[in-house]
Amino acid sequence: MRLSLEEATKIAEKFWFRHTDSTIIAVLQDVETKEVLMVGHMNREALIRTLTEGYAHFWSLSRKKLWLKGETSGHYQIVEDFKIDCDGDAIVLLVRSIGPVCHTGNKTCFYRSYNDIVIEKDKEKELNAKS
């Protein structure tokens, strides 16, 4: 979806940019599988660009700059729909991914489960026992 600047501005007015560096929290969710792909922050400009250009943009808390997700990897996240929360400090973006979201190559940044950690822990124990 791509909105006009007028519509995007109207929508931005609904938000409360109360988080670090005047941001909202943005949750990327796969429009088909409903899998949560990543969580990031958006300032007003990142939100407006996301809504008007149709590609997810974020505010990087570590680099202190605006970034288009996929600008180096080519793994753009195309926005198909969005939902705003009750107090306006978070957005869910329903996206179609052009390539994996995560810099590790995983489809989602949330690829580590309880089992992975337990197995990892057991591996550590094994290694410690052997050493």
Q: Could you tell me which residues are annotated as the binding site for Zn(2+)?
A: 86, 102, 109
Of 45 and 81, which CB lies nearer to its own copies in the complex structure? Answer: 81
Helix (H) or strand (E) holding 128: helix 114-130
Binders of its own copies in range 1-20 (CB under 8 A) = 1, 3, 7, 10-11, 14, 19-20
In Å, how far are 20, 26, 91, 94, 104 from 33, measured between CA atoms?
Answer: 30, 18, 18, 10, 20
Residue whose pair of structure tokens reads 């094994």 in the numeric block: 126
Antiparallel, parallel or unpaired: β 24-30 and 90-97: parallel
Binding to its own copies by CB under 8 A, coded x per residue (else -) over 79-118, reads --xxxxxxx--x-x---------xxx-x-xxxxxxx--xx
First to last CA, the chain: 56
Residues that bind its own copies (CB under 8 A): 1, 3, 7, 10-11, 14, 19-20, 25, 27, 29, 33-36, 38-39, 81-87, 90, 92, 102-104, 106, 108-114, 117-118, 121
